[in-house]
Structure 1
Amino acid sequence: MEGGGGSHCRSRALHRPSPSFRLRSPSLNTVRLRRIFDLFDHNGDGEITVDELALALDRLGLGADRDEIASTVATYIPLGRAGLAFDDFEALHRSLGDTFFGAAAPGDEGAAAAEEKEEQDMREAFRVFDEDGDGFISAAELQVVLAKLGLPEARNIARVREMICSVDQDRDGRVDFGEFKHMMQGISVRGA
């Protein structure tokens, strides 16, 4: 019962990152990147190995050749370490962004243009979760995304519903774009 009343909702915070490559808000981008790092760091040791990176990309349906990944990230892994620490991962991310999208110059957009870009980034992130395009993220849709990421929360629909309820302000059992945007702006404020 996805659309019905939200009597099972409790007040907990759910914070899911945007899938956009580079957001215009530095604090939101850093928080999002940290969450991605933590998802990729499968064993939680503070480093992402080539195997963990390959596993995460494969789970997301973006499988890449392990040797290709190794050659891409090799220069970012310091001697004597098995993988990328967060700072290394952030440097790799920045380099890839600059290569594919051009360097992000601070202050190269007006405030209104930056806000518009951030809104577009949030809409793009929302569409990743809203698989059926109905304008809402249901527990079933969130469960699919969590499963693709290999997260254990995906196995428990009650936990997934609890996650939905944590941001479901109108208590209809699903998250609309306004609620999603409010959640993402909360991440930006806390991450600043």
Structure 2
Amino acid sequence: MEELKRVFNRFDANSDGKISSTELSNVLNRSIGPYKKDFPSRSGAYTIDEMKELKDAFDLYDKDHKGLVSVLELHLVLKSLGEKCSVQDCSKMISFVDADGDALILRNSNR
């Protein structure tokens, strides 16, 4: 449970107890490299600890451990964290970073 809280807090940038679509997009954007064109980029390199946190956050959503996050996986995790968002909301979130239109977020294994 502590690990979930730590990951949740990493997503909840403004500490309001909720993960907005913008906050989710920002974390996912940092973790999937090739899709950065859709979001403001962060200047500077990530530390090893930050990269580990991002990988851990991605792995939290990647329930079947295939290196991809589907709409349903995102929905299940957000629902388990108490977020009230629909599958359609999750689909919209994923569409922000889905460059090829397959409704999946791919982990960039080169980072």
Partner of 1:34: 13
* Distance in structure 2 (CA, Å) of the matches to 1:158 and 1:124: 25
Relative contact order, higher structure (CA 8 A, sep 6+): 1
Could you say if the C-alpha distance between residues 20 and 122 of structure 1 is closer, same or farther in structure 2, counting changes exceeding 3 Å?
A: farther
Deviation of the 1:119 alpha carbon: 1.6
Q: Which has the larger radius of gyration?
A: 1
4+ long deviations beyond 6 Å? none
Q: Give the 3-state SS of the residue equivalent to 2:57 in structure 1.
A: helix
Alpha-carbon deviation of 1:20? Answer: 7.7
How many residues are paired up? 79
Q: Would you say 1:149 and 2:76 are equivalent positions?
A: no
What TM-score results when the alignment is normalised by the length of structure 1?
0.35
2:7 match: 19
Structure 2 partner of 1:116? 48
- Partner secondary structure for residue 7 of structure 2: coil
CA apart distance, 1:151: 1.4
Q: Give the residue type in structure 2 aligned to 1:174.
A: L
Q: Which amino acid aligns with 1:162?
A: K
CA-based RMSD of the aligned residues comes to 2.8
In the other structure, the counterpart of 1:160 is 90
- The equivalences for 1:25-174 within 5 A come to 32-35=11-14, 37-39=15-17, 115-153=47-85, 156-174=86-104
Q: Which runs of 5+ in 1 are unaligned?
A: 1-17, 22-28, 41-110, 182-192
The question of whether the paired residues in 2 share the 8 Å contact of 1:138 and 1:175 is answered with yes
Q: Percent identity between the aligned chains?
A: 27
TM-score (ref. length: structure 2): 0.57
Displacement of 1:118 in angstroms is: 1.9
Report SS of the residue matched to 1:137: strand
Matches of 1:139 and 1:20, distance apart in 2 = 18
Aligned residue for 1:119, secondary structure, equals: helix
Shift of 1:34: 3.3
Q: 2: CA distance between counterparts of 1:39 and 1:148?
A: 14
